[in-house]
Structure formats: C-alpha cells, structure tokens
Structure 1
Amino acid sequence: MNYILIYSVKAKIQKVIILFYVPFDLLIWLFLIWITKRIMRYKHKTEHKKQKNSLKDGQ
C-alpha cells in the first residue's frame, strides 16, 4: 500500500515538474529567439545607416 502511495506522489510531482518546466523552457526559447531577432535587426539598422552614409559620401 505504501509503495503505491509513494509512486502516486512521485508521479504527481513529476507531472507538476513537467507542467512547470515545459512552459518555462518554451519561454526561455522564445526569449532567446526574441533577443537574437532584436540583435539582428539592430545590426541590420546600423549597417543600413552605414550604407546610407557611404552613399552620401559618394555623392
């Protein structure tokens, strides 16, 4: 009887951990993707500005 109880408690704990861990993992991934996108956009903007400046210098 005790073994079954312990097993069910362990299973419940595992379920809770999975429920908390999976969304947390997804949030981390989304955060990382968001940061990389921001960095890429920032780099693109700075490169674009450099290109504009070089065009002005060329004229």
Structure 2
Amino acid sequence: MSIRDVLARGRVAAEARMLDTVRLFTQGEDVFERDTGTTVPGPVTVLYEGHAR
C-alpha cells in the first residue's frame, strides 16, 4: 500500500464525516434608511458555504 493509497482512503473517510452544511459569512454595518426611519442590516458577504464536520 503506497502513501497515495493511504491519503486517498483518508480523504474518503473525511468526506464521509462531513454531514453538516455550514455557511460562514460576514455582515456589513447596519444602514439607516431615511425614507422609513429604520435601520436595515448591511450587506452579507459569504466566505464559505458547504460541507463541514
């Protein structure tokens, strides 16, 4: 068994454990909307979205 085989089996095992889906994001500062007089959430920037364990 070569090191490549061992690494490939490890990758398959790690992917099998990735059961959850996650989203990591950062949100910009809230913005005051003058027309309605309310504060609205700032824009969202997704940093990662996918499987995790």
In the superposition, the TM-score normalised over structure 2's length comes to 0.34
Higher helix share: 1
* Larger Rg belongs to: 1
Higher strand share: 2
In the superposition, the TM-score normalised over structure 1's length comes to 0.31
Q: Point out which structure has higher relative CO (alpha carbons under 8 A, 6+ apart).
A: 2
